[in-house]
Chain A
Amino acid sequence: GAVVSQHPSRVICKSGTSVKIECRSLDFQATTMFWYRQFPKQSLMLMATSNEGSKATYEQGVEKDKFLINHASLTLSTLTVTSAHPEDSSFYICSASRGAGSTDTQYFGPGTRLTVL
């Protein structure tokens, strides 16, 4: 099967610091990766779409300077939360697809719980 990992699984940081979350496709090359955010007891909200080698496409209302997304290789995308604040505390989930089409299955990572003190 297709496996997607995320690292770290949970992180606690101080307000004002930056945190990097990695999303890796372990056994396939991911043309596209998606980053979602999930608040407690709520649904997944798309933050951005990341295509290898190009700039990420952010959803309306998501600050691209605060949530830096890099998709430098076909197996790795990173999300950096810059100058984190307590309101950034959330569960961040990535998904990855092999191909570039809508028929391609999205495989989800296990998520990263971010707590900003």
Chain B
Amino acid sequence: AQTVTQSQPEMSVQEAETVTLSCTYDTSESDYYLFWYKQPPSRQMILVIRQEAYKQQNATENRFSVNFQKAAKSFSLKISDSQLGDAAMYFCAYRSARSGNTPLVFGKGTRLSVIA
């Protein structure tokens, strides 16, 4: 079974600064997808960024980028120019690329605080 580990229960960052959230995962599969989801106080899950394992290029979405190290099974999220609205729980998630509609496996989350 796949597992996802987020070793930072809480992080904080000054507004406009950069912060990196860590995520490692364990799998024996070679093809899969990795995600970062944001869960604000409203509890609505919001997709932040997605990475296909077969792609070497790191995904980026505006201020959000990832550092995907497949050999190390590491998938960190970098948030640049942090904004107050970035404060939320961030979950790293894994999804198998095997046939069929596979579910997401989530890490325990990192609570990010943004300091004005």
Contact = CB atoms under 8 A, between A and B. Distances in A.
A28 interface: no
Contacts of A101: 99-101
A108 B44 contact: yes
Interface of B: 33, 42-45, 47, 91, 95-109
Contact of A104 (B42, B44, B101, B108): B101
Interface of B is mostly: loop
A91 B102 CA distance: 22
Given A43-B91, A101-B99, A106 B104 contact: yes
Interface in A1-54: 31-32, 34, 38, 42-46, 49, 51
Interface of A: 31-32, 34, 38, 42-46, 49, 51, 91, 93, 95, 97, 99-106, 108, 110-111, 113
B44 A111 contact: yes
A100 B100 contact: yes
A105 B47 contact: yes
